[in-house]
Amino acid sequence: MKANGVAAHVYSNCTASAGPSGKHSDADPVTTQIIRQALNSAARQMKRATIRTAFSPIIYEALDFAVVLYDRRIRMLAQAPTLPIFVGTMSFCIEGAVRAVGGEGRLEPGDVLIYNVPYGTGSHAQDCAIVMPVFLADELVGYAANKAHWLDIGAKAPYCTDTTDVYQEGVVIPGVKLYKAGTLNEDVHRMAIANCRFKTAVNGDLNAQVASCHVGARELVRVIKRFGYTTFTQSIERMFDHGETVVREFIKSIPDGTYRATCHMDDNGLDDKPIEFELAVTVDGSNLSMDFSNAPDAHPGPINAPFPSTVSAARVALMMAAGSAHETPNEGHFRPLEIVTRPGSMFHPVEPQPCYLYGWPLMSAIEGIFQALSIATAGRLPSGGAGDTAAVQFYGHISGTGEAFYAAGLSLPVGQGAHPNCDGATLFVPSLAHSHVQSPELLEAKLPIQFEQWEFTPDTAGPGEFRGGSGWQVAYRFLVDVMLISIVDRTQVPGWAQHGGLSGAANRLEIDFVDGPTETLRKVTNLKVPAGSRLRIYPGGGGGYGAPTKRAAAAVQRDLLNGMITLQHARKYYPHAV
């Protein structure tokens, strides 16, 4: 298979997991379930350890991290619910880190590896992975890993929207031993921290990551010791088989065929040219393929998604569509899925192509996968959301000290599309589903800002028999001079609707400078903003489902009473209910 003259890259979890999915384990189902829940509990303990010991709100409040347990063959045993967009990327982190230090044979008890190569982690360099091999006696039995967003990794800014190669995006740590046989490698540690603007916070977060891996390793060994290694390995095979069965049953309910969607982004961070890309979803029996190979060549700006994150987006969309998002994922859930990409393209960049804003094309791609599957399933999936996180970062320094004073910001969820039988969710983004919005009280206590608005925006939900999720608005004033970084997309193309529903409002970001002018922003890095200026963020609404004229009068009146819509809006779209 070739696209644009380049051979496509085909990735299947059946081969990646090194285990034939057609064979089924005969392990005891009760024991299997106990082991499964014990592993889930271990992952949740890793999550709790990270939250309790991390220094940065983006980790302990916004949950911008992932914690996982894998077996020796690098197959996912359990992942705690944190940032969904990290689902499935941790195997690449482990493989890359282990390969970089010389392979499995070079590992020993007490080793801790550190790795942040973007094309191997699936993230920008700021998402740093800690990998700990787990030993029972002297035998390698698995891995505990933690990937978390560092406040800074020495890029041209604490967050970047205009990088043109990966070398501008931060220091790359190509897989080295942070700890060797339990002893800290001081040289590696000092080198990593030296390249951060916010050394105290990053060092604290790094220690939290290592601590969580110790918790995961301890619990994995405890489970194996309790049941014995043979029973453990038989049970996890049955666990994988069950996950595979769940997803295959969903896929078999979809008619065979190829379904396509066109996705949109505002720009690549360097110019104002709108971007479109096509993806295709093919159903063949109980197998499903997601093809990203027709996406454009990698952009000169940083909106390229490394291959592991493309895999993760496909997995997130499949799990949510299959109704399995309530299940803790394991390797088996992904066996029916094949991902097709084209090296050198937007969804498979290669060194040195930039990828700092990798998450934004993934959000649009997930929306596209849902749209394609909604065609395939005849309206069983929701309409489209606003497809963004309306993210703003800012930072500054204490005058004369050289120390960073603050570095933070907000990634805000948007309105999601309506379902066939209910209104769309508000304040939700699939790729950030478990992340928390940091409270205004916390932010005001830690940062030099003062909030003036934090409320729903009327008339932003897409009209329909079931309306989309509402948009909202946040406004705050800077109390000191700041350097601003904004990453707002999908301001031009709102979320799609279906079956007669209408689109919701698109995203919008505006800044009122203290000296008078108001500017509309999308992607900008290191914008100087004087004290007293006000930022206004308007995350958009989701698309509706079904004709607005079919909406229940009681639902329209409830929205009026709650301030979700105005009387003018109701008269225009729901005249039967006014």
Predicted structure pTM score = 0.92
How far from 361 is each of 99, 125, 371, 468, 491, CA to CA, in Å?
28, 17, 15, 22, 14
Number of domains in the chain: 2
Flag whether pLDDT at 8 surpasses 90: no
pLDDT digits (tens, 9 = 90+) for 496-507: 999 999 999 999
CA–CA distance, 415 with 565 (Å, rounded to integer): 14
Flag whether pLDDT at 255 surpasses 80: yes
| Residue closest to 268 by CA, chosen among 527, 523, 537, 4 | 523
Q: Give the burial string for 89-99 (b: 16+ CB within 10 Å, else e).
A: bbbbbbbbbbe
Average pLDDT for 359-375? 93
- The residue out of 197, 232, 267 marking a domain boundary is 232
pLDDT digits (tens, 9 = 90+) for 407-441: 777 888 899 999 999 999 887 777 666 677 878 89
CB of 16 within 8 A of CB of 301? no
Whether 375 is in a domain gets the answer: no
Whether 352 is in a domain gets the answer: no
Count of CA atoms in the C-beta half-sphere (13 A) of 569: 20
Whether 333 is in a domain gets the answer: no
State the pLDDT confidence band at 15, using cuts at 50, 70 and 90: very low
CB of 348 within 8 A of CB of 341? yes
For residue 367, give the 3-state DSSP assignment: helix
Whether 373 is in a domain gets the answer: no
E-strand ranges in 331-381 read 337-341
pLDDT digits (tens, 9 = 90+) for 137-186: 999 999 999 999 999 999 999 999 999 999 999 999 999 999 999 999 99
| Residue closest to 275 by CA, chosen among 343, 344, 346 | 346
Domain range spanning residue 85?
25-232
Whether 77 is in a domain gets the answer: yes
CB of 364 within 8 A of CB of 387? yes
Whether 404 is in a domain gets the answer: yes
pLDDT at residue 326, as a whole number: 61
CA–CA distance, 275 with 448 (Å, rounded to integer): 36
pLDDT at residue 445, as a whole number: 87
Whether 461 is in a domain gets the answer: yes
pLDDT digits (tens, 9 = 90+) for 505-536: 999 999 999 988 999 999 999 999 999 999 99
Flag whether pLDDT at 16 surpasses 50: no
- The residue out of 210, 232, 254 marking a domain boundary is 232
pLDDT at residue 177, as a whole number: 98
Q: State phi, psi for 226 to the nearest 5 degrees.
A: -65, -40
pLDDT at residue 438, as a whole number: 79
Whether 435 is in a domain gets the answer: yes
